[in-house]
Chain A
Amino acid sequence: MVIHVAPKELKNDFWKSKDIKISFGEIIYDGEDSEEKESELEMGPTPKPNVTDLRSWDMKLLDRYEPFYAPFCDMCCLCTYGKCDLTDGKKGACGIDIKAQQARIVLLACCIGAAAHSAHARHLLEHLIEKKGEDFPIDLGMNIEIEAPIIRTVVGIIPKNLGDLREAMDYMEEQNLHLLSACHTGQEGSNIDFESKALHAGLMDNLGKEIGDISQIVALNLPKGDEDAPLVELGMGTIDREKPVVLCIGHNVSSGAGIIDYVENNALEDNMEVCGICCAAIDISRYNQHAKVVGPISKQLKFIRSGVADVIVVDEQCIRTDVVEEAQKNQAKLIATTDKSCMGLPDMTNEDPDKIVSQLVNNQIEGALILDPDKVGEVATKVALKISKDRKKLKILPEMDEIQEMASECTECGWCTRVCPNSLPMMGAILEAGKGDFSKMEELNDNDICYSCGRCEQECERDLPIMSMMARIGENKIKEQKFNIRAGRGPIQDVEIRRVGAPIVLGDIPGVIAFVGCTNYPDGASDVARMAEEFLERNYIVVTSGCGAMSIGEYRDEDGKTLYEKYSGDFDAKGLVNVGSCVSNAHIPGACIKIANIFAKKPLEGNFEEIADYILNRVGACGVAWGAYSQKAAAIATGINRWGIPVVLGPHGTKYRRLFLGRTDLDEKWKINDMRNVTVVQGEPAPEHLLYAAENREEATVAVAKLCLRPNDTSKGRQLKLNHYIDIHRKYFGTIPEDVYKYIRVEKDIPITYKKDIKAILDERGWAPKKIISEPSIRDFKGQSSPENFKNKSHPKADAK
């Protein structure tokens, strides 16, 4: 049973024009504690917003944080008029200009990302409904009443059981379809409107992820906001290579869960290893802590090449699309398990499991597509048990002397380095290896500085198997590759929000930093862990998910501890909270939404704009997607942005083509409404940017500290936040930042440690105290008509003048 807070057919204009409260009598709750309750819920103005319903909010964001474009390609080849050259102000044959074209590609990326998360969510939802029934309750335990903050706010419903999630899913799918259609030739013509749609796609992505994670948490009994979720083993060195090994790659837990169930039901836990790479690893280890996490996506090719896995089970997203070929190289057996990635394999879903096992073992098929997770469990396990012994005898990787011999054939053409996404000095490393010194190759292997994309190998004019050489060199230190990660806990508890809501909003906790996303790091995985460590030491709350969470686990501090061992999993100052996989990212904006609701009593249902405005101006949260590479990551960041949360990307993030940058030199951009006094006042550039890309870790760390400033900080909170900003700036830049004067509103804001220096800066700048804004907002004053929003430079009409 779903609680509708507004009748569906009366939505939109009717609800927007009237401030209506609906009283529900007789809501019967299912389950043990069935009772009659009366609930009064207020429906906000935008339940199930259509593509244009939040456009006026987007225009406000985009006016302050104007899109910055860095075209990755000057041409367009989407239709047969093309290719069209869009340089020097030229337009395509359809009339599109370079800005709109970039924005269109961003929208496309966000639609793809949102679709990937949400199709995954739909698959999980239907699979779990089939297993558990539509009426299976959404129960996240005693401490979580606001079970689905995004669904509540965006869709305007309170889902009570799995079946209810379908309504949110239907809505999301419909919106994504409209958004995708806008990418067709001859549809949208304004870059700003493309951006508004991209923000909507990002929001739909957030929604899809929430549906996916809630479904799996409740139906598969994953940790429910448990701050003490167990530590699970992480690292290539944790896998017992003597045992049969099944490796899961991808994101969808169903087939992994099928394998674990089969292994447990047949009491085979001690006889084999089930492990994973990428989010599949995180989610199977949430399902069962005996499953092991090999590591993030950067380990994929290395680990496959190492030959340790007897059976490779791929589900969806971020799997190597040449995995069939790679598996064959070392006689591993491949099972594809979802409609998204069939890999050209024969569909064996309806075959007898033993027949599939025999065909795989006897090489009659090059792999199997099995769309039934339980059958995957049986087949994968049986195959691994059958072939493991013989496979262990195979010689898969070259010996060190062979590596030296091969390396000595290098012609110094230099192309391995030129084609490397990070221009890594592979040629130099190979040359040294040719002389018997492997240390440079080892360095590239450590911390996944080389993330085994394989581009160098295919370019090599001597056909050196660089990836296999790297995999073998990595084996030398395999015993050190033993770490851990706290199992993904899912949502933040309401009680935790009650505890930290005030300190976060008032600034006593300097910020909530979320390290999310993939491993397209500019300089190895340890940068992420070092950033996390820096903020943990400074009392920030650090949240993480997906590959970022694994990268953090692969690092040990000076005392040899992982950060998960050192810091608790509490959502509190100095807490390191692994929420889970990619879909669990939903709990990060979810926590911010809960702060608005639990701490500030803002109603959620259908109330997107008020909640986002609250977060933008009051909740000092900042996302970091240091190695973001995928379209999903584009959607995640864009969705987070629409809630008013800034995100810092690594340098590769500029290849997404678009950032949202503020202009601190233009005062008019930072005018802000004081809702209490109904006046427009001069605000401060906080947060300074909405989507930023930093060139290196040092720059990013400073930027993150600054991006936690909010107009609503109390003086005490501001002092604390500035103190960290200045400290970090001094550490990496050697000085007190010049722009600190912009963030001192009154003398009380000045951090005591830096009083003298800051006063000197203030004097030099002719600083005068400003009033602290009591209720900062970028929303319109009540009763003001929204067309005001469109009188801004970003609007297409303004552009045309």
Chain B
Amino acid sequence: MYERIIPWQPTAIAGPKQALLVTPKTAKMMIKRAKRPLFVVGPIIKEDPLLKLTIDIANKWNIPIVTTGDAYKTLRDRDTNSNPYGIVEITNLLKDPEWKGVNGEGQHDLVMFIGCIYYIASQGLSTLKHFAPHLKTLTICKFFHSNADASFPNMKDEEWLNYLEKMKIA
């Protein structure tokens, strides 16, 4: 069990404050409770079944998507619209309580991440942990991210895909 809830890269551990380990059930609860969730999709998501699962999850919950790296093109090739930002740019905007959000409707209150490079995501989550008390972060990668508020555990592919399948159903 221990191996599942220390950061995937063990040295990413930053201090005493650690993410809550969540299952798809809790993760979905967080989305349901959120008023203005945002889904950040990184460039690691390139192929199916992950790509399809990611798009399905966004559609299921009707969450606006921000793509980082060059993930914008990957999603666009699947007719899925998104807002391209650098991961540091979107993090910078998310930490500002006055920012109006990707749709201009107000700052987001939940940010769900998938597919960003582990260590840069960890740094972005650290920024949000420290400087964005107005929102919660949730990571649904197969890696435990201790800098998030809530994270899936470290998992093997099969279990992860199973988790993501569950994220598609309400």
A residues adjacent to B (C-beta < 8 A)? 68-75, 85-88, 98, 418-419, 421, 423, 522, 651-652, 654-655, 659, 661, 663, 665, 692-696, 698-699, 703, 732-735
Contact = CB atoms under 8 A, between A and B. Distances in A.
A71 B70 contact: no
B72 A72 contact: no
Contacts of B72: 733-735
Contacts of A74: 14-17, 126, 130
A5 B156 CA distance: 68
A112 B3 CA distance: 36
Nearest to A75: B15
Centre residue among A71, A522, A703 by max chain B CB count within 10 A:
A71
Given A71-B14, A85-B16, A734-B72, A695 B123 contact: no
B9 A693 contact: no
A47 to B, nearest CB: 37
B131 to A, nearest CB: 7
Contacts of B16: 74-75, 85, 87
A88 B14 CA distance: 13
Nearest to A657: B123
A654 B147 CA distance: 14
Contacts, number: 117
Interface string B64-99: 000011101100110000001011110111000001
A423 B118 CA distance: 8
Contacts of B92: 68, 661, 663
B68 A695 contact: yes
B119 A651 contact: yes
B8 A698 contact: no
A728 to B, nearest CB: 11
A192 to B, nearest CB: 15
Given A70-B124, A72-B123, A654-B123, 9 more contacts: A68-B91, A75-B15, A85-B15, A651-B117, A665-B99, A695-B43, A696-B117, A699-B69, A733-B73
A466 B73 CA distance: 37
A536 to B, nearest CB: 21
A693 B126 contact: no
A199 B89 CA distance: 22
A661 B89 contact: yes
Nearest to A661: B92
A87 B129 contact: yes
A396 B100 CA distance: 62
Given A654-B123, A665-B93, A695-B117, A735 B70 contact: no
A734 B123 contact: no
B120 A651 contact: yes
Contacts of A421: 9, 119
A699 B120 contact: no
A661 B73 contact: no
B43 A87 contact: no
Contact of B15 (A87, A663, A735): A87
A790 B165 CA distance: 53
A83 to B, nearest CB: 9
B23 interface: no
Contacts of B91: 68, 70
Query: Interface residue tally of chain B, by bracket?
Result: 35 or more
A23 B120 CA distance: 55
A659 B95 CA distance: 14
B130 A87 contact: yes
B10 A652 contact: no
A698 B70 contact: yes
A492 B38 CA distance: 48
A98 B132 CA distance: 13
B17 A88 contact: yes
B148 interface: no
Contact of A693 (B15, B76, B84, B88): B88
A654 B124 contact: yes
Contact of B17 (A87, A651, A693, A735): A87
B20 to A, nearest CB: 15
* Most chain B CB inside 10 Å of its own CB: which residue of A70, A71, A735: A70
B37 interface: no
A654 B14 contact: no
* Shortest Cβ-Cβ A-B pairs, 8 listed: A74-B15, A698-B70, A70-B123, A654-B123, A695-B69, A651-B120, A74-B14, A734-B73
B127 A695 contact: no
B130 A733 contact: no
A423 B130 contact: no
B42 interface: yes
A71 B130 contact: yes
A695 B86 contact: yes
Nearest to B8: A418
B17 A73 contact: no
B112 interface: no
Given A71-B14, A74-B14, A652 B129 contact: no
Nearest to A421: B119
26 contacts: A69-B127, A71-B14, A71-B130, A72-B14, A72-B123, A74-B126, A74-B130, A75-B15, A87-B16, A98-B130, A651-B120, A654-B88, A655-B119, A661-B92, A663-B93, A692-B88, A695-B43, A695-B87, A696-B43, A696-B69, A696-B70, A699-B68, A732-B73, A733-B84, A734-B72, A735-B76
B81 to A, nearest CB: 11
Contact of B117 (A88, A419, A522): A522
Given A651-B117, A734-B77, A692 B126 contact: no
Interface in B135-165: none
B126 A70 contact: yes
Nearest to A97: B130
A734 B76 contact: yes
Contacts of A703: 86
B6 to A, nearest CB: 9
A692 B16 CA distance: 29
Contacts of A695: 42-43, 68-69, 86-87, 116-117, 120
A276 to B, nearest CB: 30
Interface string B4-38: 00001111001111000000000000000000000
Contacts of B119: 421, 651-652, 654-655
Nearest to A702: B70
B86 A692 contact: yes
Given A418-B9, A693-B88, A732 B15 contact: no
Contact of B10 (A418, A651, A655): A418
Nearest to B12: A72
* Most-contacted residue by chain A among B11, B16, B76, B120 (CB, 10 A): B120
B88 A661 contact: yes
A124 B16 CA distance: 46
Nearest to A68: B92
A783 B9 CA distance: 55
Contact of A654 (B11, B93, B120, B133): B120
Contacts of B10: 418-419
Contacts of A68: 88, 91-92, 127
Nearest to A730: B73
Contacts of A663: 92-93
Contacts of A98: 130
Contact of A419 (B9, B17, B42, B76): B9
